[in-house]
Amino acid sequence: MSNPQSGVFVQFYTDAVELKAESEKQGRPIFQDLPHIRKMIPGDASNVVERVAKEHDIRMYPREWEIFQRQQATGHFGTPSNLPKIINSIYDIQMRRIFNSKSVKLIRTIRNYTEAL
């Protein structure tokens, strides 16, 4: 979400992070979903910060954090996009990653739009 005070687009999202110590202990990769933050300056695509969210991020962007928490509470709607029968191309997987999409319908809409250009 855009933060008018700082002129920065801020978004919280969830992403899997490998727990290295636990992975070594178990002898296999162990991941945990953790909240991340994405900060972008509009008009400057080369200056994007993405990392695990910290307490000061939550205090600095309380509105965006609240939006993220509401989204987490309501869950995601639509067919999960990690179904291999539906998502069968590298393009679709990349679109899902770029747009942080959890829904096949959104990916298909984006794909149809970009193909029409």
Question: pTM higher than 0.75, yes or no?
Answer: no
The answer to whether 18 and 8 are in contact (CB under 8 A) is no
SS3 (DSSP) at 19: coil
Q: Is 112 exposed, middle or buried (0-12, 13-18, 19+ CB in 10 A)?
A: exposed
SS3 (DSSP) at 73: helix
63 Cβ contact list (under 8 Å, min separation 6): 1, 3
For the chain, the residue count is: 117
For residue range 65-108, list pLDDT tens digits in order. 999 998 888 765 555 555 554 444 555 555 566 666 666 666 66
State yes or no: pLDDT of 23 exceeds 80: yes
